[in-house]
Amino acid sequence: MPADLAFAADAAASTQASLEGLLARQRSAFLADPNPSAEQRRAWLNALRRLLVDEQEAIIAAISQDFGNRSADETRMAEIMPSVLGIHYASKHLKGWMKPSKRSVGLPFQPAATRVLYQPLGVVGVIVPWNYPLFLAIGPLTGALAAGNRVMIKMSESTPVFSQVLKELLARIFPEDLVAVVTGEVDVGVAFSRLPFDHLLFTGATSVGKHVMRAAAENLTPVTLELGGKSPAIVSTDVPMKHAAERIAWGKTLNAGQTCIAPDYVLVPESRVEEFVTCYREAVQRFFPRLADNPDYTSIINERQLRRLEGYLSDAEAQGARRVPLFAEHQARRLPHCLLLDTRDDMQVMQEEIFGPLLPVLPYRSLDQALDYINDRPRPLALYYFGYDKAEQQRVLENTRSGGVCLNDTLLHVAQDDAPFGGVGASGMGHYHGREGFLTFSTARTVFSKQRFNAARLIYPPYGKLLQKLVYRLFIR
């Protein structure tokens, strides 16, 4: 074997051994304390909440350094605030979630009792993407700790500064056998996904999610996949255009469009396309009066992602799409927001999740046509409808499928602590946030119990007795 290949093989083996050792320590710690009390779990959550509040400036600075520029307000609003609120919600409701659930027992099985215990799974693995590196680490961590688990977190190689900061911050309040942050390149992520966790949650691209699920299958590790896809927005024929355009613009410009639930394309009645373009341009330019040196305008995370987006633009324009630029300037990785008209389905920008500040505008002639267009494609993580007619809202809900929906808004369904978040089909599987997060990271353990009297012995073998025949006549009908 050549020396460089031998070195790579040795490094991979060392990485795998190190991760397996960390997992073994967490599993041993879990077995020593398999049912943490509500008070202990609340103490963990309160320490985490306090840490985020106290260290928010360090968090903001680290994430901005990784991005080249990330709006401080976007980090506060889209990462720190929902993380803190989610922790507070879990802490408040934890005791009720932990309470065993009484279930009914059918008449043939009486006298007996049935209850469901919600117990920790053990060690949970979390793989975090780069676009919201705090919120998408803390959200799963909150659910896993609330459920009484140990947690290993693999951070993205695209956010090395923040990843190291989070590792150091969490080490202040949690021992490594309770919460551990793992950093490193793609090879570390691959090794991480191969570990025999009790549950693995991955947030990221659909293409990578397939590899993660394949690796987890080798250990029969249950997975929650939070993926993405092309989330559509529909503008109705009669909604005030300023309302729709402004709310879509906010959802698309937040984090420069680098959001898994950002509107990926917008369906607009063909008679209202120019009106939409005008209102959308006004909204974006009101949000960002200038591009250069504007601290509110977030950069594209790195050169690789910038080249990908520029490639989408070049491909679309080469095939006849019309670019509607909303800024004349272009500064480093601050890619100017733009609309795309006259797109075709075979363009890259219509085939791939955009994950950036480009928004195709597609005209439609009828709502049925718009719904057919959505339903002919993989099910998205989010769907947005803009229109105040209740019957039409219901029609959209009944005739589409997506992970989540906002009516007359964008993004904000993800911040609702009392509602599940997750995808469907190509956009993911499983849910978390709030109670659903607690349930995802718990085992629902059915306990069926009887005392001395055992009526069931009347139907034990040998079969064919009169009483057995009577039971069949009573209950099989």
Along the 477 residues of the chain, how does pLDDT read in single tens digits? 555 544 345 466 678 899 999 999 999 999 999 999 999 999 999 999 999 999 999 999 999 999 999 999 999 999 999 999 999 999 999 999 999 999 999 988 999 999 999 999 999 999 999 999 999 999 999 999 999 999 999 999 999 999 999 999 999 999 999 999 999 999 999 999 999 999 999 999 999 999 999 999 999 999 999 998 999 999 999 999 999 999 999 999 999 999 999 999 999 999 999 999 999 999 999 999 998 889 999 999 999 999 999 999 999 999 999 999 998 777 789 999 999 999 999 999 999 999 999 999 999 999 999 999 999 999 999 999 999 999 999 999 999 999 999 999 999 999 999 999 999 999 999 999 999 999 999 999 999 999 988 888 888 899 988 888 888 888 888
Domain 232-422, CATH: 3.40.309.10
303 noted as active-site residue: no
Q: Which of 79, 260, 279, 436 is catalytic?
A: 260
260 is catalytic: yes
The token pair that represents 240 in the structure block: 């005030």
Residue 467, phi-psi category: left (phi > 0), alpha (psi -120 to 50), beta (remainder) = alpha
What's the pTM value of the predicted model, to 2 decimals?
0.94
**Alpha carbons 160 and 429: distance in angstroms, whole number:** 28
The residues of the chain that CATH labels 3.40.309.10 are 232-422
SS3 track for 92-158: HHHHHHHCCEEECCCHHHCCCEEEEEEEECCEEEEECCCCCCCHHHHHHHHHHHHCCCEEEEECCCC
Contact 84, 49 (CB under 8 A): yes
**Under CATH, domain 11-227+430-444 is a member of which superfamily?**
Aldehyde Dehydrogenase; Chain A, domain 1 (3.40.605.10)
Q: Where in the chain is the domain with CATH 3.40.605.10?
A: 11-227+430-444
User: Which residue is catalytic, options 74, 226, 246, 436?
Assistant: 226
Q: Count the Cβ atoms, other than its own, within 10 Å of residue 199.
A: 25
